[in-house]
């Protein structure tokens, strides 16, 4: 909005474009913050980068992802014929033998797509990697801002569909957790340290999935009268409580899924035996 009080563009907005336009406050300094505002985006970028490096290594390794009764969440469900044999496990050979590379790549598209398009992660990596903006009240370096209205960022809108896929993946990981109550000889009624790792992981996966903004909208959106829909109102309240912790759950579940995979890797590669609790 032009107010007629802005200084000439060439004097106070030397770079032009971005936040240096006639419609924004004329501040020469890049920002006026005196705290360590860069710490949060730097830590976020480091954390996400570490996960990307680790998950890429594990997804392409195509090895050490099954140690009875545990299957890595990166490889579940395993949908190609080249999957490791798992008794009663989630190795359903839907794709046949033509698939020649790691079967993790087939399934990781869905949880990764879910996280990549998540509202919280979008904010995290826009700030951490693209400095768009780097932090609150810190000008972004880009001259143009089109938000998520153009390709490819307009594709972020498919998040709601990834949410549905993530629900199915969570169901399969729940099945894997139930199977973790067997021992290495497939006898039921046992628990190992890995069972506890899987229980913690699936609890966090469900909490993160159900705290999704799309879930909140599906559960309680488009209602004119909550009083006429008490069950949906109650569910909306519960999801809303989880939703308030969405960022924490995003990180906790990211770490837990990597730890669950790493645990299976250690057992499957013979670094140590799964301690049996009973
Ligand atoms: S908004 Fe984060 S998972 Fe849906």
Closest by CA to 202, choosing from 180, 219, 234, is 180
Omega before 164 within 30 of 0, i.e. cis = no
Position 274 pLDDT exceeds 50:
yes
Q: Is 190 exposed, middle or buried (0-12, 13-18, 19+ CB in 10 A)?
A: middle
Length of the chain (residues): 278
33-51 pLDDT per residue, tens: 899 999 999 999 999 999 9
**Residues 139-188: pLDDT tens digits?**
888 888 888 889 999 999 999 999 999 999 999 999 999 999 999 999 99
Would the CB of 251 count as within 6 Å of ligand 1? Answer: no
Tell me the pTM: 0.90
CA-nearest residue for atom 4, ligand 1, is 212
What spacing in Å lies between the alpha carbon of 239 and ligand 1's midpoint? 12
| Extents of the domains making up the chain | 31-268
Rounded-to-integer distance, Cα 106 and Cα 76, Å: 10
CA distance 24 to 13: 9
Q: Which of 118, 161, 206, 248 to mutate to test the pocket of ligand 1 (most atoms within 8 A of CB)?
A: 118
User: Which atom of ligand 1 lies at the shortest distance from residue 163's CA?
Assistant: 4
The model's pLDDT over 180-221, given as tens digits with 9 standing for 90+, comes to 999 999 999 999 999 999 999 999 999 999 999 999 999 999
Angle at 21 between CA 145 and CA 31, to 5 degrees: 85
- Contact by Cβ (8 Å): 13, 21: yes
């Amino acid at each position: 909005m032009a107010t007629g009080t802005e200084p000439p563009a060439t004097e106070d907005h030397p770079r032009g474009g971005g936040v240096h336009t006639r419609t924004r406050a004329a501040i020469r300094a890049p920002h006026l913050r005196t705290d360590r505002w860069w710490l949060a985006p730097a830590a976020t970028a480091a954390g996400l980068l570490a996960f990307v490096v680790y998950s890429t290594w594990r997804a392409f390794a195509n090895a050490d992802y099954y140690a009875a009764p545990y299957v890595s969440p990166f490889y579940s469900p395993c949908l190609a014929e080249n999957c490791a044999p798992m008794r009663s496990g989630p190795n359903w050979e839907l794709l046949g033998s033509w698939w020649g590379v790691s079967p993790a790549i087939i399934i990781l598209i869905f949880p990764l797509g879910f996280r990549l398009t998540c509202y919280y992660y979008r904010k995290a990596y826009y700030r951490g990697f693209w400095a768009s903006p780097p932090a609150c009240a810190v000008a972004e370096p880009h001259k143009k801002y089109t938000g998520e209205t153009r390709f490819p960022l307009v594709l972020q809108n498919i998040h709601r569909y990834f949410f549905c896929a993530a629900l199915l993946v969570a169901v399969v990981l729940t099945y894997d957790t139930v199977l973790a109550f067997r021992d290495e000889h497939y006898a039921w009624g046992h628990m190992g340290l890995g069972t506890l790792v899987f229980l913690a992981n699936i609890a966090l996966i469900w909490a993160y999935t159900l705290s999704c903004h799309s879930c909140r909208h599906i559960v309680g959106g488009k209602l004119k009268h909550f009083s006429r829909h008490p069950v949906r109102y109650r569910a909306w309240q519960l999801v809303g409580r989880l939703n308030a912790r969405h960022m924490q759950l995003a990180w906790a579940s990211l770490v837990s899924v990597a730890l669950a995979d790493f645990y299976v890797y250690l057992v499957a590669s013979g670094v140590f035996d799964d301690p049996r609790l009973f």
